[in-house]
Structure 1
Amino acid sequence: MTTRLHGGPDHQGVPLHDFSTNSNACGPCPAALAAVQRADATRYPDAGYTALRAQLAAFHGVDSARVLLAASASEFIFRVTALVAGRGGRAVWLPPHSYCDYVQAAHANRLTVTAQPRDAQLLWACEPSSPMGCAHAGLAQLADGIDAHAMVVLDRAYEPLRLSGTPSPTPETAWQLWTPNKALGLTGVRAAYVIAPPGQCAAVAALEELSPSWPIGAHGVAMLQAWVSGETQDWLQNSLDTLRTWKARQIGLCESWGWHVLPSETNFFCARPSLPAGIDLPQALAVLRAQGIKLRDTTSFGLPGHVRVSVQQPAVQDALHNAWQQLLTSRQ
């Protein structure tokens, strides 16, 4: 069985204080939560998602024919990889540090991972990136020099949670994958959508053929419809101001423990903890988890020795501070 490495609940249940997922700690967004709670689960959604596509298209200023729906970002990662493999693709290019589903989907479809973008038929980018929360170096040039039939997919899961910096220019040929549930603090509602590049009608049709009927249920539809509303967007912008304040405080705490904090433009950052003698990082994380605190080991992202830490409210930060001090004291 494939081991799924992710933040959030695990075999020990729901963490009391969860730093391991990048969900907006100001959430859930009241308007989006109310919409999900009002959703009519007694009926199928429109199988064509006609109204939802039109709303998402208007939000992004594109034609509705360019909007695809997905059960989640992970579902689309596997679907688009299957499309590339079915068209004779052989290789995938990934950022140096990236989400494990990209490579799992490649392996499931018998595609190799190449270090050279020009050798790939599917190229992944993520900005702001995960786990680093930074710009994707060379994003604007990623599509240069690659095969004309290659697909570049830009994962924009964390763009709505950008706290600083500005987006890099997006390649005109890039497919954009959006998952608003993190920004809304509703990660349990699984729904995503994709904005296709202009002139990709055949690829859009092929991806639709690979989709099961009703990839998104009533609750996902309600969340995405709420996502594009002015009330929700206003709430999101206000939450970013709060997250900036909380982030500065949290970084200060981490640095006071001797942790090396890496630069980040989002509501999460990576850090290398300063560990006491006689304990390694997995052991330290296990001690914290036993106290109800979960951090995300970034080894699966290709960044061993570090943790990814989402920004949390001050009371939760203080719980981590107390638990870390207790760990240090117990090892003296």
Structure 2
Amino acid sequence: MSDTGHDTTGHPYDHLTPDVLLDAMEEAGFHINGRIFPLNSYENRVYQVGIEDSPSVIAKFYRPGRWSREQIAEEHAFSLELVEAEVPIVAPLTLANGDTIGEHNGFWFAVFPQRGGQAPDTSEPDMLWRLGQWLGQLHNIGARTPFRHRPTLDLMTGLENEARYLTESGRIPDDLRPAWDSLIPDLLTHAGQRVDDAGQVDTVRLHGDCHAGNILVRDEQMLFVDLDDCRQGPAIQDLWLLLNGDEKERALQFSELMEGYETFRDFNRRERYLIEPLRCYRQISHAAWLARRWDDPAFPKFFPWFAQPRFWSDQILALREQLAALQAPPINPSGPY
């Protein structure tokens, strides 16, 4: 299959019509009842699809050109490996072709069981302790073998590339360019110093985007979802997004996470130095993601503020605050950790 599998008219997702979606599901072996409900997903297209005499399923149509088939297969294999190890994660279903990956009309797609629940309350110490336990087990599985096709999180190269892309994109208002142009070198310098402070760290296969919105809790049961961003990287990448609040609150939260995590896996404490560079990378890469996806009709519709000058003034202010965080000491866990 080509990178897109589509003609050059319009955006590739213009070709993902309801008929195409339903035909794909029928070919995959599902007896659909015609009910389709789009879910909030912008990078891919994700739908709740009704099935005759059975619970609904979730169909995910991968963005053309983003992942190769080999990379999607590694995502699925990692999910199934975690399930086999009894780590609670939603893995793809096997389709009529005997595989977890379907192909229809130029789209790779996968189907998942529908699962319900709420995001975890990460202000609760016991919740963080339990999350730490599961992440320690997830990383034990992730450390068995490296990914061969999925990307590796190269923090400084990624940060430099995304910052350069935004600088050259023409989207930053002219009157804000001097502030942006003077800020970015300082951010890169101090992020690089923190990466140097961390030193050499091991990498494992990661969830990659482990924030509270990608974790479901129901009846005291926890479930990780959406491995679309899984990659090779340092363990801290799956931990820092669960921290919020002021410095004292984050320190307490980190202690709880670590107490649970180290029940199953040792943690290299120098990885704490990577938290603020990773936060900086996420801020800048999010803006670059919006810029790269602006030709997708869903993005101007759901992110209209990105086209406003106010977005860039707010972004510069947030990055100035991030520069101060990069210059501060790393998080200092309190409590038994």
TM-score calculated relative to the size of structure 1:
0.24
Higher RCO, Cα 8 Å, sep 6+: 1
| Bigger helix share | 2
